[in-house]
Amino acid sequence: MSTNNRFSGTTSLRTLIDLPVSLSRDSALPLSVQLGDWLREAMRAGALTAGTRLPSSRGLAAQLGVSRTVVTEAYQQLYAEGWLDGRHGSGTFVADLSTDAAPPARQTPAPPVAEPVRRAAPLIDLTPGEPWVKDYDAAAWKRAWRKAADLPPGDDPDPYGLPRLRELLAGHLRRSRAIAVGPENILVTRGTGNGLDLVALALLGPGARAGVEDPGYRVARNVFAARGATIVPCPVDEDGVIVSGLPSDLRVLYTTPAHQYPMGGRLPIPRRERLLAWARRTGAMVVEDDYDAEFRYDVAPLPALYGLDPSRVVLLGTLSKSLAPDVGVGWLVGEPALLSRIAEIRQDLSDRTSGPVQQAVATLLERGDLDRHLRRMRLEYARRRAAVVEILGPVCRLRGDTAGLHVLAELPPSEVRGIVSAAASRGVLLDTTVRHHHAESQVHGLVIGYGSAALPDVRRGCQILAELIAAAS
């Protein structure tokens, strides 16, 4: 439906907004959500401009024949999103979203409904990288921290990590990734970035050649380069890294076989085997970034590279996607000899993972809280991913939609920039493939993350995007 048509009609709501609102009691959506959606659309379309005064909740409720709660809930939501502004004692106003400036003359005291949260950032963030951190089990989280706080602080951090957590992580990986590991194969890191750095210190000296996927994860490129390695971009196709062209002088190859970042491919088994044969032949170590392997949709799991040949692979895992980046815990899985080298380097550099944080994570694992959280998040992400596919599938080619928290929407290069800026002006923040390339982009389009926006926002953002794509083509 065209927004213009919808908001160019005549009136049925007459006091302060001269526009038609229609709410349906037959809809599956609550009345407050319908009203909120309607007002948001009107603001987006410019039918309600910055500074417009909205009716009082009582007045609008009376006009619409709904309870006052319906209106206050809708207003509260729009305040929280930054669409509305309040001036104490004088009503509720459409906020000025055109600049990052302070809200129009909001004088300190609280607005009539709720304190508005001003956001310079776009309202719907569909860029990749962030997971959904809002829906966690607060009781389990507090219990884990209470338990960690019961223990005294340690005086001699173990460079491998806490034995209790290594044991639990090994069990977690055996169950969730079907790899035969014990605690002797696990070193607890502060996340993938820290794991990459330790790998670089152990395996790459200045000038050593490090292969990274292109397009690929910038952090891997940055960390290896910061340790003096020469970066060798290795092309990727829709299944993942292309093995046939890999040079024979790489010390390390960084790859994301479970869900290529950002193209989304899942490396097929024959190619996994060819990759490992290449590593055995050339002596390279493969760094397997398993960052979002917990999330896949309607497809069977593929074996981790580490499980296929532990002698040639270091696997890096993280809680950043499955729980939250802020926790700062990940793991490095490898053969004991390599781990012992890394543990020594850690001691030399006084590098460690916080003990109390590890204790809390261990409790989350021990009590099954992390597994429960993962099950809940799988369902949640599956719904969002289904919405992305349903709305964008008909208007563009999607890649990488069977796993992880992002998809790639392919678009002609000439359309990408225009769509990104048109989407931004309608409150939707998007990322393009360009940022992820080392060399010239071969594939063009948008990398759409559905980790950090709630389902209704994912839907709305994709609907706006679908309109823009349809209009551009």
Binding site for ligand PLP (CB under 6 A): 129, 191-193, 217, 256, 261, 289, 291, 318, 320, 325, 330
Q: Is 321 exposed, middle or buried (0-12, 13-18, 19+ CB in 10 A)?
A: buried
CB nearer to ligand PLP: pick between 44 and 436:
436
107: which 2 tokens?
Answer: 């004088």
Smallest distance, ligand PLP to C-beta of residue 430, A: 16
Residue nearest to ligand PLP (CB): 191
CB distance 396 to 411 below 8 Å? yes
CB nearer to ligand PLP: pick between 72 and 192:
192
CB nearer to ligand PLP: pick between 92 and 318:
318
CA gap 119, 361 in Å, rounded = 32
Distances (CA, A) of 113 to 6, 69, 109, 110: 27, 11, 11, 8
CA gap 153, 381 in Å, rounded = 37
CB nearer to ligand PLP: pick between 289 and 294:
289
CB nearer to ligand PLP: pick between 32 and 353:
353
Smallest distance, ligand PLP to C-beta of residue 324, A: 9
CB nearer to ligand PLP: pick between 159 and 191:
191
Smallest distance, ligand PLP to C-beta of residue 165, A: 16
Helices (H), 283-354: 305-308, 336-349
Smallest distance, ligand PLP to C-beta of residue 275, A: 17
Q: Which DSSP state fits 95?
A: -
Smallest distance, ligand PLP to C-beta of residue 234, A: 15
CB nearer to ligand PLP: pick between 57 and 318:
318
Measure CA 354 to chain center: 24
Provide the 3-class DSSP secondary structure of residue 92.
Answer: strand
* Single-letter amino acid, residue 288: E
Smallest distance, ligand PLP to C-beta of residue 34, A: 35
Smallest distance, ligand PLP to C-beta of residue 364, A: 16
Q: Phi and psi for 94 in degrees, rounded to 5?
A: -70, 125
CA gap 437, 461 in Å, rounded = 25
